[in-house]
Amino acid sequence: MIAIDPDVDQKHAPIAVIDVGNQTTAAALYADGEIKDAQRFDSSNMSAISGILSGLAAGGLDGRLAGVVIASVVPKQNGVIGDIVEREHDLEPLFVGEQVTLPMDVLVDEPTAVGVDRICAAASAFDRRKEACVVVDFGTAITIDAVDDNGAFMGGAIMPGPRVQAKSLNNQTAQLPEVDIIRPADGVGLNTTHAIQVGIYHGIVGAVRQIIEAYATQVGRWLPAVATGGDARLFAEDCGVFDAIIDDLTLAGVGLAFDKRLAAGVQL
C-alpha cells in the first residue's frame, strides 16, 4: 500500500483532496494550486465518496489518482473513508495533522484541539493574500479566525450556524417552528416564522461584524476579511466587511498542506 504514486511527479500530479465536516463532506481534484471538479455530499452517507473518487480519478493521470489527502473533523468517519480509499484505489489516505503536517503555525493554548478545516482555510487565505487577514467560514458552525503578519493562526471565534440556530429553537421550545434560512426583506418580523428568520439572519450579520471589529481593536488595525463556506454569499454583502468571497478555501488549504510537505523535502 502506497500513499502517493511513486511513478508520477508529486509536485504536479492531481491528487484528491477531501474535507470531512460534521454535516457536509467536500472532495475535489487538486493540482498546481488549483481546485477542480469540487463536489459535496451529506457526511452521514460516507459511502457516496466511492463514486465521487472514481469520478475524480477519471480526471486524473491515466484514469487514476496520485494520492488522497484528507482534512477531517469527524474522527468516526476516518476509518470508513480510509477503507474505501485503500480498497478501491490501492492508496493509503493521508490525513492533515497526522501524516501531513499542518500548513501553518498555530498560536493557541491547545493547537491539536483546533479543527484542521479552520487551519487549512486560514492557511489558504494567507497564501493568496500574503498578509494578515480574517477568514470567516459560513458552515454548520460559523468560524471567524485571524492570521497574523507571519502567516500564523492566531485563534478565533466559533458560533452556531444558521441551521443549527433554527433547529435549536425548534428543539428547545414548545411552539417555535424550524424555519428556512433566508435574507429577510424587512427588519421587523410580522409573524413567528419571519421573526425567527430576522433574528437569525441579522444576529449573524451583527455578530460577524462585531467580532471582526474586536480583532481590529486587538491588533490595532482592520484586517482584510475573506468569506467562504456554503452560506457565504447569503450573508457576506450585508456584513459589509469582506474583501473577497472564495469558494473551496478549505479544500485548497488541504492541497496547500500537501504542497508544503513536499516543499520541505518529505516524499510520501
pLDDT in tens, 217-238: 999 999 999 999 999 999 999 9
Determine the topology of domain 15-95 in CATH: Nucleotidyltransferase; domain 5 (3.30.420)
Mean of the pLDDT values across residues 111-129?
A: 97
The whole-chain average pLDDT of the chain stands at 93
Pairing outcome for strands 24-31 and 15-20: antiparallel
Residue whose entry in the numeric block shows the C-alpha cell 489558504: 124
Stretch(es) of the chain classified as CATH 3.30.420.40? 15-95, 111-251
pLDDT digits (tens, 9 = 90+) for 129-182: 999 999 999 999 999 999 999 999 999 999 999 999 999 999 999 999 999 999
Average of per-residue pLDDT across 98-103: 94
Question: Residue 2's pLDDT band (boundaries 50, 70, 90)?
Answer: low
pLDDT of residue 99: 92
Beta-ladder partners of 77: none
CATH 1.10.260.40 fits domain 111-251: no
State the pLDDT at residue 8: 55
Q: Which is catalytic among the residues 5, 117, 127, 137?
A: 117
Cell numbers describing residue 197: 428568520
CA distance readout (Å), 90 to 12, 17, 32, 134, 181: 20, 16, 23, 39, 42
- Predicted pLDDT at 265: 63
C-alpha cell of 83? 477503507
**Does residue 117 have an active-site annotation?**
yes
